[in-house]
Structure 1
Amino acid sequence: MKYLVTGAAGFIGAKVSEVLLKQGHEVVGIDNLNNYYSVALKQARLSPLLQQAHFRFIKLDLADRNAITELFAKEPIQRVIHLGGQAGVRYSLENPLAYADSNLVGYINILEGCRQHKIEHLVYASSSSVYGLNQKMPFATSDATDHPISLYAATKKASELMAHSYSHLYGIPTTGLRFFTVYGPWGRPDMALFKFTKAILAGEAIDVYNYGNLSRDFTYIDDIVEGVIRIQEQIPTANPDWDARHGTPAQSSAPYRVFNIGNGSPVQLMDFIRALEESLGIEAKKNMLEMQAGDVHTTWADTQDLFEAVGYQPKTSVQNGVNAFVSWYRNYYQC
């Protein structure tokens, strides 16, 4: 099978590409290698992939319509795993236009490529952020997601709506995955675990928002990638019996599905920090701060539908996952 993986130099995209290659598939990876965070880290993720005979990397911006059109025309791509786009909730408060370019314009370019070339299955990254002001726990795909509280979340909600329109109009099978706080080796420097580790090892204080009264459904990278790989094999089909008045919004009469992909077990932020302190053998200095705009108090994934679809069941404990990250961090930065 020949796959297009967007965001191939990213945290999840590089790992997904690695697993696909190990399974014997061919992967075309694209990424614009922007400087939102360290380009050197992105290149380091790509380095082992570039040594694989069945991997080809193209530096390409999703918002470049002509380049995306040319890519689909030249490559006999069968399936697309779309993990590219501008990440980060807080950055969307500072630079909203980056999200419009990448997550909206870039995404429609991918959808058009899938339409024009009859792609078998488009799997794309959504986010737990779409649940916004929802209070009900755990977050279920049957819940409404009409009140996002950041532009990042709004673009992810938009990606689901855009996917549905293409599934409905053109019969393109699409599956959206709402990721819940992914962490682990090779993680992004703008994520809490990376920032905390860097600060603690430098003897600096860490910023703890809402005075530590937050919880997140932390999900280890290997568990996430296993879910992505499993779900891309489950191609949605049209369901003429589905009824918008009674059916879940995670399905449709079109070949369209949306799933949560998370650990299904939220962890208090202070417990997460204690796991990191234990792994490092250092007690963190803490700046206890107010809640930040765009953040939510709790994320908690109901993953029952994903389990029923593909048997998805995360296996990595927070302590083991944090230990793996710390081991990678110390080795990568020689500290």
Structure 2
Amino acid sequence: MKYLVTGAAGFIGFHVARRLSEEGHEVIGIDNLNNYYDVNLKLARLERLKNYSLFKFYTIDLFDREAIDQLFAEQQFQRVIHLGAQAGVRYSLENPHRYADANLAGHIDILEGCSKYKVEHLVYASSSSVYGMNNKLPFSVKDPVDHPVSLYAATKRANELTSHTYSHLFSLPTTGLRFFTVYGPWGRPDMAPFKFTKAILEGKTIDVYNNGDLSRDFTYIDDIVEGVMRVQALIPTSSSPSHFQEPNQSSAPYALYNIGNGAPVKLMNFIGAIEKATGKEANKVFLPMQPGDVYDTWADTSELFDATGYKPKVDVQQGVTQFVDWFISYYKEPI
């Protein structure tokens, strides 16, 4: 089949594009290669994707409307996996317009392309951040998500709403995936697993927010990719209208799932796993809660499991060890 993968030079996009390529699909990857984090890491991911003869890459901004439309017109994709976005919760406090461009306007451009050129299924990245300060655990796709606490989260919730609108108006099958904290080889430098590992190996301090009293549903990248692959093959269909729909349900060809490990880990335990994998003790600096952060995340993945049979396999110590091994191998010396 022929796929478009947006954000192909990004962490999850790279792994998804590689999995599709390994299975013999034709994959077109796009990314704007911005400098939000180390561009060299993005280029190194792309170098590995270039080993696949059916993979092609284009440097395109999601909010370049004409370029996106031309790409859809020329390539005639069958399915689209939309993982490109401006990431980061804290960064959104300082650079709001990047999120408006990439996450709002860019998402509309992808929806327009999928609708206009009759793509059979759009799978797109949402985020666990849409749950905001919800204290009902675990987080369920049936829960209301009307109070985001960061601009990033608000854009991801907007993506869900606009996707539903296109599913309803144009019968475009769309599936949103609320990703919970994803980590693993080739991970993002702005995320805690990378920052903690780098600092511990260099003997520097690590910042531990809310005095370490946080938990996250850390999910290993291979498990995430397996879930994405199963979801993209499960195309939503229309159903009879109902006045009693849950927030994640619709008569339109629309679906919404949590995708996570389903087992939250205390931040201090995650740091402990890095310490064990590196053989070094972290020098911790305990700090208060940061604006836009949430105390806990925990995915109720029962809906996804019922639909696809998806169940994560990699535990935290195994996943952290594999990440640390990649980090040491890739950088070879402190950066």
Q: Place the TM-score, normalised by the shorter chain, in its bin.
A: over 0.9
2:47 aligned counterpart, secondary structure: helix
Deviation string 1:213-255 (CA, Å, 9 cap, x unpaired) is 0000000000000000000000000111433xx2211110100
Q: Which residue of the partner structure matches residue 280 of structure 1?
A: 278
Deviation string 1:201-220 (CA, Å, 9 cap, x unpaired) is 11110000000000000000
What amino acid is the match of 2:277?
A: S
Aligned: 1:256 with 2:268: no
What amino acid is the match of 2:275?
A: E
User: Gaps (5+ residues) in structure 2?
Assistant: none
**How many pairs were matched up?**
333
2:241 and 2:250 in contact (8 A); partners too: no
Q: Which residue of the partner structure matches residue 310 of structure 2?
A: 312
1:113 aligned counterpart, secondary structure: helix
2:4 and 2:28 in contact (8 A); partners too: yes
Q: Distance in 2 between matches of 1:52 and 1:193?
A: 29
Q: Which residue of the partner structure matches residue 40 of structure 2?
A: 40
Q: Distance in 2 between matches of 1:21 and 1:242?
A: 40
Q: Which residue of the partner structure matches residue 187 of structure 1?
A: 187
Residue 31 of structure 1 deviates from its aligned partner by: 0.2
Aligned: 1:95 with 2:95: yes
Q: Distance in 2 between matches of 1:201 and 1:53?
A: 37
What amino acid is the match of 1:52?
A: Y
What amino acid is the match of 1:288?
A: F
What amino acid is the match of 2:318?
A: N
Q: Which residue of the partner structure matches residue 209 of structure 1?
A: 209
Structure 1 ranges of 4+ moved more than 4 A: none
Q: TM-score, normalised by structure 2?
A: 0.99
2:155 aligned counterpart, secondary structure: helix
Aligned: 1:327 with 2:322: no
Q: Which residue of the partner structure matches residue 113 of structure 2?
A: 113
1:53 aligned counterpart, secondary structure: coil
Q: TM-score, normalised by structure 1?
A: 0.99
Residue identity over aligned pairs, in percent, reads: 66
Q: Distance in 1 between matches of 2:320 and 2:281?
A: 15
What amino acid is the match of 2:324?
A: V
Residue 51 of structure 1 deviates from its aligned partner by: 2.0
Q: Distance in 1 between matches of 2:146 and 2:241?
A: 25
Q: Distance in 1 between matches of 2:167 and 2:95?
A: 31
Q: CA RMSD in A?
A: 0.6
Q: Distance in 2 between matches of 1:170 and 1:294?
A: 35
Q: Distance in 2 between matches of 1:86 and 1:95?
A: 10
Deviation string 1:264-302 (CA, Å, 9 cap, x unpaired) is 000000000001001100000011000000000000000
Residue 200 of structure 1 deviates from its aligned partner by: 1.1
